[in-house]
Structure 1
Amino acid sequence: MDTLFTKIINREIPADIVYEDEDVLAFRDIRPQAPVHVLVIPKKPIPTMDAAEPEDALLLGKLMLAAQRVARDSGIAESGYRLINNCNPDSGQEVYHVHIHVLGGEKLGPLNARPAQA
């Protein structure tokens, strides 16, 4: 099943690509939640992190290193950045193709505004 990200990989729809190698593609999010908001995706379609298989370990490691490179190239590595992967509906996953959000460029608030449970 083709997703929006598959169409970006295949250049069927445009994207502001900031990094690419043989396994990974990174592009700016069209609805940024921070001054720097880049999505890093594997070119192999894996619907969710929950669907990843042991043989995907090397690819997922490359995904994380590509996210690190995007942060460095964007100038946010030293001040700090956040990596987020949403998995399945309750997390807010909208596109069912594994992706890492790289967020930064400003001081980011806490992820969970709920008070700690006793």
Structure 2
Amino acid sequence: MPEDLYYSEEHEWVRVEGDVLVVGITDFAQDQLGDIVYVDLPDVGDEVQAGSVVGELESTKSVSDVFSPVSGEVVARNESLDGASEVINSDPYGEGWLFKVRAADDDATAALLAPEQYTALVSS
């Protein structure tokens, strides 16, 4: 599990890249879902609120909501997932990112979990 990310209790991760936050799902989440076959993501320009449902992932096992771990404006979505959603399973922390948000405030990651806190959450 990458040490340079923040994590949500809903199993999303956040990477800070300047004033943009990249959002994806954790390896734990993709493992629980199984083979992901369809992705529904927020559109560029959408305003998202931390903790709100912004999309869904469909796998061979179930359909799972995608929550935004931060509030702000969606500035990019991973269009390459439209035809290759399985990348989320093979590379959840890299090419399998979901969307990018320009944060609504400077301390957008303050309510998120540090890597060791997330590890404790999934270990319990």
TM-score in terms of structure 1 length: 0.41
- The structure whose residues are more often strand, as a share, is 2
Tell me which structure has the larger Cα radius of gyration.
1
TM-score in terms of structure 2 length: 0.40
